[in-house]
Amino acid sequence: MNEGFFERAWDVVRQIPEGRVASYGQVARLMGAPRCARQVGYAMHGSPGVAGGVPCHRVVFADGSLAPGFAFGGPGEQRRMLEAEGVGFLSTGSVDMKNFSWEA
DNA sequence: CTTATGACTATGA
DNA sequence: TTCATAGCCATAA
C-alpha cells in the first residue's frame, strides 16, 4: 500500500469533508510527514484535481490563506468554491479556520 | 552521488 | 501590521 509521497497526500486530502479546510502542515502530519508541508503543496500541483477525487481547493495555509496565483482558474475561484461548500471567510480574505479547520 | 526547486511554516525586523 | 529570511524535506535533473 505504499504509493508515492504524492498519492499519499492526495489520499489525505481526499478525506477532507465538505465545508471544511485543512492546512498543508495538517495534511502532511496526517500522512506521517509533519515537516513536509511544502511537498504536500507540490503534490497538489501534480494532483488530478477535484475530478480525480482530490479537493485541493480545501487545502490552505496554516493561517487560513489561500494559494496565490496557482488556483484553478483564478485566486478568487478557489475562495468561491469554498464559500459554495459553506466555508466562512474573514475580512482579511482568509478562511475562518477558527470554526472551519478540519478536525479529524 | 550533488544541486536546484518549491501550492509551507516559524521567526524576526 | 506587513515583508523578508531560514529551516525543513521530497522530487527532478
Full pLDDT tens readout for chain A, 104 residues: 778 999 999 999 999 999 999 999 999 999 999 999 999 999 999 999 999 999 999 999 999 999 888 888 877 899 999 999 999 999 999 999 999 999 87
Protein side of the strand C interface (CB < 7 A): A 4-6, 33, 35-36, 38-39, 42, 92
Quote the CA–CA distance of A76 and A39 in Å, as a whole number.
24
Residue A56 confidence (pLDDT): 95
Gap from A75 CA to B11 C1', in Å?
27
- What beta strand segments (E) does A1-104 contain? 22-23, 59-60
Residue A102 confidence (pLDDT): 96
Residue A76 confidence (pLDDT): 86
* HSE value, Cβ hemisphere, 13 Å, CA-based, for A12: 29
| pTM of the entire predicted model | 0.94
